[in-house]
Chains A and B, each alone.
Chain A
Amino acid sequence: MNGLRAASLDLGTLLLPEIMLSVGAMFVLLYGVFAPEGVVSTRRAHLLAIVVTLATAAAAAMLANQAAPLGAASGPLAWDGFRWASVAVILLGVLGSLVMAMEYNEGAALSAPEPPALVLFSATGMLLLVGSRDLMLIFLGIELMSLAIYVLTGLDRSRAGSAEAALKYFLLGAFSTGFLLYGMALVYGATGTTNLTQMAAVIESRTLGTDPLLVGGLALLFVGFSFKVAAVPFHMWTPDVYEGAPTPYTAFMAAGVKTAAFAAFARLLLDGLGPAYASWHYAAWVLAAVTMVVGNVLALAQQNVKRMLAYSSIAHAGYLLVAITSRSADGVASLVFYSLAYTLATIGSYCVLSIVSGGIEKRTRLTDLAGLARTRPALATAMAVFMLSLLGFPVAGGMGFFAKWYILRAALNSPTPQIKLAVIFVLASVVSAGYYLGVITTMFMKPPADDALPSRGVDARLTGGVVAVAAVLLLFLGVYPSPAVRWARASTMPMSPARAVAAPTPMQALAPVNSQPMLP
């Protein structure tokens, strides 16, 4: 009872973004049932949701500069740079997907006001996830996020693939949630608390790092989170679900779910279970290595761009796991920086796909992009930027290069340097050139396919705007990354006991790796 007293927690301030989003979602839902049915109401519902997202982003930006309210120091909700940075990245993804969905749903004849409300509900869960410092809240956030996404996946009821994806995602998701909850129960059983700050203190003071109950809980938590972030070998659902879901919601899944789940995973491992690093370090290492290799190799064989991007997102989960494995302030900063670059490139590339396919899901094959440079040169150029960014190509790939660079630096400068992992990271990135560059050669060097399906010619000017903004931001921050680096470096979170083990090395833009002494 003492944890949830009004007097000890300023819930209204701590949860303001989440409250705004969920109240906004309810408004959108009610607007949907009171407004007359039709395309105009659907468009207005989307616009309302976009306004709610912008308002939430503004509120979060203001809160980020405020002093922490009552109960933020060790309560169930965090108030640190890491939370606000993750919130910003997630809301960026939400905004992009909402704009894309507004035009896509008209083209695909999915006229309903519920989808934007569901996106907002899911975003509420994501925001809760990145801000929570308590196992119960992490679970609540994951469920809130996932339940709405299961529905969004199966939104296109006229397509069997969409229903199949929704059922697959739902059944496997429910199954993995069981693992997650069991893991939380075991960790609670070992430490006697669900609060991450207290958990770290208990593990440290009682040296519970190798306690069988805790290690068992850790293993189950790894299974649950690996499913949510699509890490090998728990990635089987990803290609089918990404391919089956309507494209804007695939983008939402790829960008939002990954960022939110990784933020919670990082906080759980680095803050709450930091003192048990020796117990989970090897598991994270193997998971990262296998995920990078398998994701990239399987992506090479894909003929459908959505499927290819699904495997690519699996590979990116591996890269982000490297950032967690390095367990340092640099690692956290590189995680945030990478999430931003990945979100921009992912949202952008799915927007391009949405425009090219014009609401027809069959038109997402690689051959449908053939000759795009001739028919839509600007679109093809933007897609090339996104692909190069996901690849981590310098200059033309914009932010993507620095994102990979910082993860590599964090891995090498970590208190326990991850040299082998860094080598695998680089080699896997080289392999990924095979399919990212394949998209570019298809667009620029191949003539349009003969069996190209006819386009419906949907109005996609706003989606085109999202593509332009994402590409320009990526390129700008690739040439001039210091604002994003400063922003990422400010996104700290309490880590235990990394502060005690070694002082985190500062991340300097463009500094070569060996300019700093390697820590033992």
Chain B
Amino acid sequence: MGLQAYLPVLMLMGFVLLNAAIIIGLSQWAMRRRPTQVKSEAYESGIPVVGDARERFSVKFYLVAMLFIVFDIETVFLIPWGTAFRRLSCTGPIIDGVCSGATSFFGLGEMLVFMAILVVGLTYVWRKGALQWD
């Protein structure tokens, strides 16, 4: 195996860097800078800014965000499983969309195990009261 296979990637990276340099450099070189109060605002033609974004959030927010990620990962895992489900359910190769072997419950069983573990986790956070805001 050679590293030549990665040459297109390297070329693309080089092209992207060069392109970005040209665009930014050109606009820096050609632009005329006439700042006004309105132009310097964060949203030049949007709603007026009311305050700073660096406020303190409740720590509960992070807990909910973390729990959300756990169940988000579940969805992320379910989709590739769904695409591979036919192959996982067949002991032999699939020829023209028809399973040539016997039916296997491997894929289904694995997902059920995964789900059961997640349910244990959900039960735990539920009973701990982590899903309650107050």
Contact = CB atoms under 8 A, between A and B. Distances in A.
Contact of A29 (B88, B91, B106, B124): B124
A5 B109 CA distance: 12
Interface string A171-214: 00000000000000000000010000000000000000000000
A344 B106 CA distance: 41
B123 A30 contact: yes
Interface in B94-124: 104-106, 117, 120, 123-124
B84 A7 contact: no
Contact of B120 (A6, A7, A26, A192): A26
Given A6-B104, A6-B106, A30 B120 contact: yes
B8 to A, nearest CB: 17
A500 interface: no
B128 interface: yes
Given A5-B106, A6-B104, A192-B1, A34 B117 contact: no
**Interface residue range, chain B:** 10 to 19
Given A7-B104, A33-B128, A1 B87 contact: yes
Interface residues of A, number: 10
A33 B127 contact: yes
A107 B87 CA distance: 55
A182 to B, nearest CB: 16
Contacts, number: 25
Interface in B61-109: 84, 87-88, 91, 104-106
A119 B106 CA distance: 30
Contacts of A5: 91, 104, 106
Nearest to B125: A33
Contacts of A192: 1
Given A6-B104, A6-B106, A26 B117 contact: yes
A26 B88 CA distance: 27
A193 B77 CA distance: 23
A41 to B, nearest CB: 13
A33 B128 CA distance: 7
A268 B62 CA distance: 38
Interface in A214-270: none
A507 B104 CA distance: 48
A29 B120 contact: yes
Interface in A16-43: 26, 29-30, 33-34
Contacts of B128: 33
Nearest to A25: B120
Nearest to A6: B106
Contacts of B105: 6
A192 B1 CA distance: 9
Given A6-B106, A30-B124, A33-B128, 7 more contacts: A5-B91, A6-B91, A6-B104, A26-B117, A29-B124, A30-B123, A34-B127
Shortest beta-carbon contacts, A-B, top 5: A6-B106, A33-B127, A26-B120, A7-B91, A29-B124
